[in-house]
Amino acid sequence: MKNTTATILAQKQKGDRITMLTAYDYSTAKLMDESGINCILVGDSLGMVMLGYDSTLPVTMEDMLHHTKAVTRGAKNAMVIADMPFMSYQTSVYDAVKNAGRLVQEGGAYAVKLEGGAAVCDRIEAIVKASIPVVAHLGLTPQSVNAFGGFKVQGKDEARARELIEDAKKIEAAGAFMVVLECVPAKLAEIITRELSIPTIGIGAGAGCDGQVLVYQDMLGMFSDFTPKFVKKYADIGEMMKGAFTSYINDVKSGAFPEESHTFAISDEVIEKLY
């Protein structure tokens, strides 16, 4: 069944938890889609896990479009949400609508995600008016890493906790249909989840959210630069990959690969004529 804004909202209402993972390429998106994931996020985390930057700040619209196109070709039923990269919506409402439109029209995304609360409500309203579903992102918003002074849990003191609750209400009023809560204390995320009628998706925000998201390289053990506390490793694919690469290197060096079965035949008659 195709996932839409209506089915996602119905999941919150029924208490059926929403599943989301990031993906950045066709074959991974296809595997996730076939596994029955609700949503695939083409996160600007691709800057770190795919492109090797130390933050999401260098990611461009062209990077996002390139990866979003690949993911949408692989996802039949999952809702594909594309991140709006740094400086694609902060500059003006016009830029926000224009760039959200590109992610849908050129990239094939169903919805876009942008970071921030009250400060981006005018952007959310304008994008929604252009008939593009919007996911908001509150708490640790990685595009503000320099303003925060690092990757830190958000909302631990009363003032900031109140601000996050207010921001959540404002982005809902502005028209966002879902919100990601990143690195927010679990009890605060529970309050926000109760206060909103739109679904909350947690990452480092506890089990009280309406759904969860993880970066797929983190949950598969494929990214070792750093592993946040909130990640659960479901497999150690990184070690499996290294084992397979080493076996391949050894086989090529020893001549064990390729075997007869990996080669193409030609008739002896043809070969004789070549001498």
- What is the C-alpha separation between 121 and 135, in angstroms, rounded? 12
Please select the residue that binds ligand KIV; options are 8, 32, 33, 43, rule is CB under 6 A: 43
Task: Considering the candidates 115, 125, 182, 190, report the single residue annotated as catalytic.
Answer: 182
182 is catalytic: yes
Q: According to the binding rule CB under 6 A, does residue 64 interact with ligand KIV?
A: no
> Tell me, what amino acid is at 55?
S
Q: According to the binding rule CB under 6 A, does residue 45 interact with ligand KIV?
A: yes
| Assigned token pair, 16 | 């059926």
Q: According to the binding rule CB under 6 A, does residue 68 interact with ligand KIV?
A: no
**Shortest spacing between CB 147 and ligand KIV, in angstroms:** 16
Judged by CB under 6 A, which stretch of 6-14, 42-50, 69-77, 217-225 contacts ligand KIV? 42-50
* Count of residues interacting with ligand KIV (CB under 6 A): 12
**Shortest spacing between CB 111 and ligand KIV, in angstroms:** 13
Integer Rg of the chain from CA? 22
Please select the residue that binds ligand KIV; options are 32, 38, 40, 44, rule is CB under 6 A: 44
Q: According to the binding rule CB under 6 A, does residue 134 interact with ligand KIV?
A: no
* Angle ∠(151,157,159) on CA atoms, nearest 5: 110
What is the pairing mode between strands 111-115 and 200-203? unpaired
Specify whether the backbone of 228 is left (phi greater than 0), alpha (psi in -120 to 50) or beta: beta
Q: According to the binding rule CB under 6 A, does residue 167 interact with ligand KIV?
A: no
**Shortest spacing between CB 187 and ligand KIV, in angstroms:** 20
Q: Per CB under 6 A, which of residues 195..224 are in contact with ligand KIV?
A: 203, 213, 215
Q: How many angstroms from the chain centroid is the CA of residue 237?
A: 19
**Shortest spacing between CB 8 and ligand KIV, in angstroms:** 15
Cβ-based nearer residue to ligand KIV, 44 or 172: 44
Q: According to the binding rule CB under 6 A, does residue 140 interact with ligand KIV?
A: no
**Shortest spacing between CB 206 and ligand KIV, in angstroms:** 15
Residue nearest to ligand KIV (CB): 43
**What positions carry a catalytic annotation?**
182
Site residues, ligand KIV (CB under 6 A): 22, 41, 43-45, 83, 137, 180, 182, 203, 213, 215
